Amino acid sequence: MTKNISVGLLGLGTVGSGVFQIINEHQEELVHQLGCGVKVEKILVRDVNKERGVKVDPMYLTTNPEDVLLNPEIDVVIEVMGGIDETRNYILEAFKVKKHVVTANKDLMALHGPELQQAAHENGCDLFYEASVAGGIPIIRGLADGLSPDKIQKVMGIVNGTTNYILTKMTDEGVSYEDALLEAKELGFAESDPTADVEGLDAARKMAILSRLAFSTSVELEDVQVEGISGVGVEDLQIGKQLGLTMKLIGFADFQDAQLEVNVQPTFLRLDHPLAAVKNENNAVYVNGDAVGETMFYGPGAGGLPTATAVMSDVVAVIKNLLLDVNARQFLKPRFEKKLKTPDQSFGSYYLRLQVENNIQTFSEISTLLTDLKIGVDRIIQAPQQNGETEFIVITRETNLEKIRTALEDLQKASVVKEVKSHYRIEGGIGV
């Protein structure tokens, strides 16, 4: 049997503890897969005396990053410490001394992924990052390997468990956004500061990573149009249910005719859409390819052991490459020049909720306004309110985003419209 392969950990939090646990408890499986064992040599921590969820001999712990990065016994560095600038420097240092790197850091990969991949290639090293998107779901390897011969046209998914949990509670139980968020915090699904989750930034980082891989083009975080769920109300979710729709925070990436669209926004889905049944903290990514057609990857999007499993799948892949002497063969430069779609090239159906004057001219004026903009209407539903006012729910046919933006501005100015209360994209058309 080949000698054990030594790894070093940067970080021993929830995911790092999971990695340490899997290495210790799954040695037989690792030996069966690799023909050798995997040994943790050193672990970088900020406080060696901190109480942790796993028992670790203090001899493994260090507060000096060089004990991991420059340790000649360590072949693979596993980065699970988080952060961006300091972590980036550590990884670049690891590459300089020919150490392979596995990371779970979505923030780092979203902002510096291309640079780090280039540095890994130049130094003959592997850089794998399966756990950076959707926790235990093997979406990165699915795109990089399983679907690599295909032309991917669309990637869309629920890639943030916090927001999916909140929207599930609001939809199924009618609780307010504030109460659902509080419950998510109490259960550990949301951070004490949930801004990155609920405002869509976490999902945007993941969509930037997935888009680069799926479409072989250079996607930056600023290319992703982002809208979160903090403005979503229970009223819209309940109306959606009556229309055969459910709402999810959807990361959407589309690549047609070498033109790219990437966004994150609350989106209504038909109830028969594959993503509509994904509830609570679970994640799912739906992929449409020219040859394979429709596929979906589903599973836990977070959690120590699911994410650690994704990390260890990368570690196994690195070690297999190391044993076969085929490291640094995965790097591919972007194939296509980035061309972002303009609003007039982005198409979808839309849900509009309007507070309107309760008079006979209202329907006619709204219909005329939309007709003048050449926006087709599937239906307009009148919903009388207890206060004597009236709401109109407008469901458009497929139209472009530029026309919708113009319509929203014109409706806000229309004499019969008191307020445009909400508007959301509908994926897959109306459900009933």
Q: State the Cα–Cα distance between residues 119 and 109, nearest whole angstrom.
A: 13
**pLDDT of res. 432:** 40
Residue ranges of domains in the chain:
5-135+304-324, 150-300, 343-427
Q: State the Cα–Cα distance between residues 8 and 78, nearest whole angstrom.
A: 6
Mean pLDDT of 346-358: 94
pLDDT of residue 190 exceeding 90: no
Using a 10 angstrom Cβ sphere, with 0-12 exposed, 13-18 middle and 19 or more buried, the burial of residue 19 is buried
55 in catalytic set: no
Q: Do the Cβ atoms of 109 and 129 come closer than 8 Å?
A: yes
Q: Which of 206, 248, 341, 403 is catalytic?
A: 206
- Predicted TM-score (pTM) of the model is 0.92
**What is the largest distance, in Å, between two alpha-carbon atoms of the chain?**
84
List C-alpha distances in Å: 48 to 11, 40, 41, 52, 58.
11, 16, 15, 10, 7
Rg (alpha carbons) of the chain, rounded to whole number: 24
Spatial CA neighbour of 421 closest among 386, 394, 387, 388: 394
Side chain identity at residue 302, one-letter code: A
Question: For the segment 193-212, what is each residue's pLDDT rounded down to a tens digit?
Answer: 999 999 999 999 999 999 99
3-state secondary structure 375-397: CCEEEEEEEECCCCCEEEEEEEC
pLDDT of residue 223 exceeding 50: yes
Helices (H), 216-249: 234-242
pLDDT of residue 21 exceeding 50: yes
In CATH terms, the fold of domain 150-300 is Dihydrodipicolinate Reductase; domain 2 (3.30.360)
pLDDT of residue 103 exceeding 90: yes
Q: State the Cα–Cα distance between residues 246 and 397, nearest whole angstrom.
A: 18
418 three-class SS = strand
**pLDDT of res. 298:** 93
**pLDDT of res. 87:** 98
* Mean of all residue pLDDT scores within the chain: 93
Phi-psi domain of 135 (left: phi exceeds 0; alpha: psi -120 through 50; beta: other): left
Mean pLDDT of 125-148: 91
In CATH terms, the fold of domain 5-135+304-324 is Rossmann fold (3.40.50)
Question: For the segment 48-97, what is each residue's pLDDT rounded down to a tens digit?
Answer: 989 888 999 999 999 999 999 999 999 999 999 999 999 999 999 999 99
**pLDDT of res. 359:** 85
Q: State the Cα–Cα distance between residues 373 and 396, nearest whole angstrom.
A: 12
Kindly state which CATH superfamily the domain 343-427 is placed in: ACT domain (3.30.70.260)
**pLDDT of res. 431:** 43
Spatial CA neighbour of 188 closest among 311, 53, 55, 302: 302
